[in-house]
Amino acid sequence: MTIEVLNPTTGEQLKTYPEMTTAEVDATIDATHDCFLTWRDVPFTERAELMRSAARVLREKQDNYARMMAVEMGKPLREGRAEIEKCALTCDYYADNAEEFLAPEPVVTEATKSFVAFEPLGVVLAVMPWNFPFWQVFRFAAPGLMAGNTGLLKHASNVPDSALAIEEVFRLAGFPEHAFRTLLIGSGAVARVIENPKVMAATLTGSTPAGRAVAGTSGNRLKKTVLELGGSDPYLILDDADVEHAAKACVASRLINAGQSCIAAKRFIVGPARRQEFEEHFLDAMRGRRMGDPLDEANDVGPQARHDLRDELHDQVRRSIEAGARCLLGGEIPDSPGAFYPPTVLTDVAPGMPAYDEELFGPVAAIIPVVDEDEAIRVANDSPFGLGAAVFTADVKRGEDIARRRLNAGCCFVNDFVRSDPRLPFGGVKESGYGRELSHYGIKEFVNIKTVYVR
């Protein structure tokens, strides 16, 4: 079997890679496990020095890696450079903070001494998607390696160059050769890796069906998992909101990575008092974005990562229009090469339409009219997903209350669009998954939280 890489901008085949054999996979797992046996005892100061070196490698090769992502999966160059910088910042963050996050916590008991220790688990498998080829991996790898674990990466099959480049980053930074390894395998080979007794845990970012598969296999082997799955993030525009600011923030979120983001804004919920004004500002902002070759610095929106994904998105748009949604902008596949789909705005979106019920993984916005704030909150929560949500209002205290108590999601923002940050925990509820990445919560997901009691 081979892994084929196509340029989504041109449809051109870039290269092919042979999938690793079973024997090669087993040998890589063995080597990564053997590395763990020594890596776990390396002092935090030495781990931190290597992690800062990884950040330097990322910054030195930033332009190369941004171009790699543009060619492999269509990310515009400026977004690619920003992604690499975010990875570097995360490396620095955990280099600076991991030792404190994992310091033993004393507990007063009847013992002479008792405390909680945080010890690494071992080899952790990461199953990662193509949409943020570097960032998704580093938000697992930086805390995982700093905690003393070693890592295996099964990346999406359309970004093998990125997968191998990430392995290269750690090697160039001076990490042990087998501290972080890439497995060039298909999805069908993942279960066998999880079942290997030397693999202690798994983390997945991807679709809900993929999450169920990984969770099922891991559960049968009683192995820890963290899942970050799909999202259909609602953005509430209340009657007292700064509508122009809200529309710009909503468009910025909706078009990140050509709309191919779990935490992109997807459903825009607005009452009758501000609906027309919001739609006008929203359309103006959407029209101001330029779609085209991601290697052209002037372009804001690249292609979809694959033609089949573009076609599935268009089918969701078509079926929503047939069910009664109105298309205000876009909605047609361009008559040109590449997997492009234009920024698209649907309004009058209602239950029973794909734009309401399903995740739209592309540059398509669904405007959902409601009668009042209570209905807006009900509609926001009327989704199987619960990753991110945002509310726009002039009353910050009211917005905070809605974000904290009334929106059922893992990340809730007020007057800004949802984004991940190494200083804050990231993850969802419901079919958006479980567990947390980033902050001190993320580094503790794959450690043994050990009680030590000394009489």
Inter-residue contact 74 to 9 (CB < 8 Å): yes
Please list, in sequence order, all residues whose beta carbon lies within 8 angstroms of the beta carbon of residue 79, skipping any fewer than 6 positions away.
256, 257
Query: How many Cβ atoms from other residues are within 10 Å of residue 45's Cβ?
Result: 9
Of 294, 259, 298, 258, whose CA–CA distance to 10 is shortest? 294
Residue 225: phi and psi, rounded to 5, are -135, 150
Nearest to 165 by CA among 89, 93, 83: 83
Instruction: Say which residue the tokens 């890796």 belong to.
Output: 193
Across the strands, what pairs with 114?
453
Catalytic residue among 228, 279, 437, 445: 228
- Catalytic site residue 262? yes
Catalytic choice (262, 359, 373, 411): 262
Of residues 315, 142, 130, the one with CA closest to residue 210? 130
Q: How far apart are CA 290 and CA 272, in angstroms?
A: 30
Strand (E) or helix (H) holding 123? strand 123-127
* Residues across the chain: 455
Which amino acid is residue 363, in one-letter code?
Answer: P
Helix segments in 157-207, DSSP class H: 160-173, 190-195
Annotated catalytic residue 412: no
Residue 338 has which token pair?
Answer: 């590449």
Backbone φ, ψ for residue 235 (5° rounding): -120, 120
Residues in CB range of 48: below 8 A, 6 or more apart: 95, 96, 98, 99, 146
Q: In what order do the strands lie in the sheet with 411-414?
A: 326-329, 344-347, 364-369, 265-270, 233-237, 388-392, 411-414
Q: For residues 388 and 363, what is the distance between their CA atoms, to the nearest angstrom?
A: 17
Instruction: Report the distance separating Cα 104 and Cα 34, nearest Å.
Output: 26
Q: Say how far apart CA 446 and CA 176 lie, in whole Å.
A: 20
Show which residues are catalytic.
228, 262
